[in-house]
Amino acid sequence: MKKLILGMIGFSALLVSCGPKSTAVTGPKYTSSEQLAQGKTIFENSCNKCHALPNPEKHDDMGWIKTLSRMAPKAKLNEEQHQMVYDYLISVNKK
């Protein structure tokens, strides 16, 4: 029984470690109105596929970093798209 439980724990750890990873955004990069508009479009089109769009004011800057690091791989965003969405969200966030 111990071997079965240890085997299941090991297999679970392997699956988690092989999951999609996203390069963490560390702060704003894009500031042009064109890039922020692209971030808004990506946000609206990618995030709305799976759930209602969250209010940009839902999180502060660090909260969006954590949320997007988790969600960007699920939305299949590349690093540039991930950054543009983050920059858009913090540009309209009043926190």
pLDDT digits (tens, 9 = 90+) for 37-72: 999 999 999 999 999 999 999 999 999 999 999 999
pLDDT above 60: residue 21: no
Amino acid letter at 51? H
pLDDT above 70: residue 29: yes
Task: With respect to residue 18, please indicate whether it lies within any of the assigned structural domains.
Answer: no
Task: With respect to residue 59, please indicate whether it lies within any of the assigned structural domains.
Answer: yes
Q: How many CA atoms lie within 13 A of 14 on its CB side?
A: 6
What CATH number is associated with residue 64? 1.10.760
Task: With respect to residue 5, please indicate whether it lies within any of the assigned structural domains.
Answer: no
Task: With respect to residue 17, please indicate whether it lies within any of the assigned structural domains.
Answer: no
Total number of domains constituting the chain:
1
Task: With respect to residue 11, please indicate whether it lies within any of the assigned structural domains.
Answer: no
- Give the pLDDT score at 10: 57
Q: What is the pTM of this model?
A: 0.71
Dihedral of CA atoms 53, 65, 39, 74 in degrees, nearest 10, equals -60
* Residue-number span of the structural domain to which 70 is assigned: 33-92
